[in-house]
Structures are given as C-alpha cells and as structure tokens.
Amino acid sequence: MSKENFTLANSIRRQREERGWSQQELADRAGLSRTGISAIEAGRLIPSTAAALTLAAAFGCRVEDLFALAGHGAASWAWSPPAEGCRYWRALIGSRQLLFPVEASPLGTVPHDGVWRDGGCHDQAFADPVRTLVIACCDPAVGLLAAEYARQTGFRMLVLPRASRPALELLAAGLVHAAGLHLGRDGGGEGNRTAARERFGAEFRLLRITDWQTGLVLDPALGVGTISGALAADLRWIGREPGSGARQVLDELCPGRLAPAHLARDHRGVATAIRSGFAQAGVALRLVGEEEGLNFLSVREEAYDLCLAADSLADPRIRALVEVVRSPAYRRLLGELPGYDSHRTGEFAT
C-alpha cells in the first residue's frame, strides 16, 4: 500500500480538550515536550512506540484508541459540522485527512466534496484530498492566486477567510497548510516574523506575496481629505475583529478609543458596509476601496506573507504554491492591482 493510500490518524487533540488539558499539561503528564505534542496533534510527527505508550498511559486508554491507520476515505472534522446535511471539503494535511464544513469563501461557491448525512460521509466521485491545498487568509485578491494555482499545477486551493492571528492559530493546530499574515508596522515584515516566531519558534518560513497599502476607506460624500480630519470627525466606523491587521492599524491610530460596535468579516466587508451607507469609515486595503468607489487615505505599506510550517516545504502542493507565486504570470497580475507591489513577491524569510 502506498503512502498516498493511508494515513495515521490520531485523536489526541480531541481527547486532550475533552479533559480540559492544555498541550503543556499533557506534555507534563506524558513526559514529552509541548512542541512534540503540538507536532503529533497536527500530524507533522509520527510518535515512537514509547511516546505512543506514554500518551495512552496519560489518557488512561489504549494506544489504538489514540492512533489508527486510516484508509483514503477515512477523515475527521477540522471543527464540528453545523448541522445534518452539511456539505464539506476534504483535504490531507500532514498525516490527517480533514473534513471542512463548507463556508463562505472569497473564491465564490466552491464545489463541495460530499455531504454529511445519516451519520456518514457521502463523497462526490471527484473528491481528491491529496491534491488540495488549504489556506487561511484575508487577501481580497486571493482568487488570482487560486486561479493561477489551478491553471499551472492541476492542484486545488481552498481558501478560508480568516484574519492574521486566527489564521496563524489554524496553522499551528495543523488545520491549514498556510496562513496569511499582515501584522507589520514598518513595511519590512518584522511584525509577521515576530508573530510566527512566537507560535513556531524557528520552525516556519514566510513566503512574501505582496507589499500592499492599508489605510482609511471613506464615504466620498464626506469630503474628508486627511487622516487627522477623519479621526477628529464624528463618523460611523465599521471595525474588524481583534487579531486582524486592520484592527491593529485602527488601534494604533486611535489609542484608548473604544472599538467600533459593528465588525466586518474582511476587507471587502468594510468597503461594502461603507458603500451601502451602513458606515462612513473603516480600515481596509486600497484595492477594495477603489473597487467600491470610496476615498482612500494611505496609512502605511504592509508586508503580506504566507506562513508555512518548515517541515511542510517538501509537500508537492507547497512546492507548487511557491512556483506559482514566483511565476511571471502571477506576479504580473498582482502588480497590476491598485495598492499591490510585486517587487518582493516570492521571497522567503524566517
């Protein structure tokens, strides 16, 4: 049986969370390192026989209750499905096959791989988790990358809309292949490196996608032409969730001010809220502001990177991703977008 036809599934994370234990607490009980526990949970590390036995002893169960060889069709939920009849996508991440409940995607309506019904999976014939790459990010132009990825490689890209820090947490949990980050203040990407280093130590790589312009997007009817004028005016603001790069920008511009009561899910959500008249101002990218016909006041240029686990770089899907990002076709498309700079696209950093 080839490696592509089976994986070693584990239920360690579920067992740990059911007991209310942190990764460090489980590590202490089993005599292992916290980073080792994290890697085993994420499917990035296959434990030795001794480690498997100590984990089983810590949980008070059998080794086979924690680990099992899973066939091509076996999978576990990345997170709980919302209801019976839930559509899902399949993807192989590390050594685990995961089911992702279908959600709104910046790629539009992406064909689902199956339906969860009557307690079981009912797959479409074309479901191929081995050839699926999962990214969590907030890039409103990620559709260009997904289209080029499919065209150039034959692989499929799934995009989960997440802000920077929530995306990083999904990567750390082994639930996505890549996480989009834009948390820098100086345009050099140091904020992205710091956030990744805090979560992964040295075991990560940052793949530069673009340097983009972030700023205030405003209702053009306001006639406000300066950042100071916008901050001093009594405007209806639309915010973003904590952990997002846009929220970080607004908090830095307005220290001590209460966050807006209403939050948009992503950059396009901010622009749509203003265009519809629900709000008058928010923080987003130049791209979405121009697309919605809004005024844009640049605050800073930010490095936008995809964070990858260092031990995933040999994965054919990751290698293909790097090749596509560095391709002339993708860089040309990206560089033609308002507020996107492709001069450093494809560079690696640690």
Tens digit of each residue's pLDDT (9 = 90 or more) over 261-301: 999 999 999 999 999 999 999 999 999 999 999 999 999 99
**Mean residue pLDDT across the chain:** 91
Tens digit of each residue's pLDDT (9 = 90 or more) over 222-250: 999 999 999 999 999 999 999 999 999 99
Task: Of 12-16, 30-34, 187-191, give the lowest mean pLDDT range.
Answer: 187-191
Percent of the chain with pLDDT over 70: 94
DSSP-assigned letters across all residues of 53-117: HHHHHHHTS-HHHHEEEEETT--EESS--SSTT-EEEEEEETTEEEEEE----TT-SPPPSEEEE
List domains and CATH numbers for the chain: 3-70 (1.10.260.40)
pLDDT over threshold 60, residue 260? yes
Banded model confidence at residue 2, pLDDT cuts 50, 70, 90: very low
CA distance 167 to 188: 20
Which residue in 182, 175, 185, 176 sits closest to 196, CA to CA? 182
